Amino acid sequence: MALADSSLAHAGAGAALMGGWAFYANSGHPMPAPLLAALVQGAMTAAITYGLKRVQEALVPRLPGVAGLVMPPLVCCAISFGLLFAIHSLAGTPEVLATLAVPTTVATLYACLYTWRLWSRG
């Protein structure tokens, strides 16, 4: 299996990168807030990336035509933002919107690119 198709590679890379961003976005607050935000974001990114990759792989072939290209990224963006906002709010992350700005943007771009890859394969 190629690394580009590995769900674990996608999840692990996302966890490391977005956990790091969450730490940075909350670094103006005293410890342990940045560390907690990083751990929450890292864990959630890994779970969401793994799950949404599977959602995309299920939706793309089932949706006809352009809907198979457009709908999966929209669904993934909505699920990702909703879950992250709720979990970070419950965890007491001080800078929720700043924490979610990069992961939501990256997740949406990732979903668009990965959906394109799946969709263009036919």
| 43-100 pLDDT, tens digit each | 998 888 888 888 889 999 999 999 999 999 999 899 889 999 999 999 999 999 999 9
Q: What is the pTM of this model?
A: 0.83
pLDDT bucket at 107, cuts 50 / 70 / 90: confident
Evaluate if residue 1 carries a pLDDT over 60.
no
Our count of domains for the chain comes to 1
What does the pLDDT read at residue 37?
Answer: 97
DSSP E strands, the chain: none
Residue 91: domain span: 3-121
How far CA 18 is from CA of 75, 99, 118, 120, in Å, comes to: 20, 9, 24, 28
CA–CA separation, 108 and 86 (whole Å): 18
What does the pLDDT read at residue 4?
Answer: 65
Reading the block at residue 119, the tokens are 């969709």
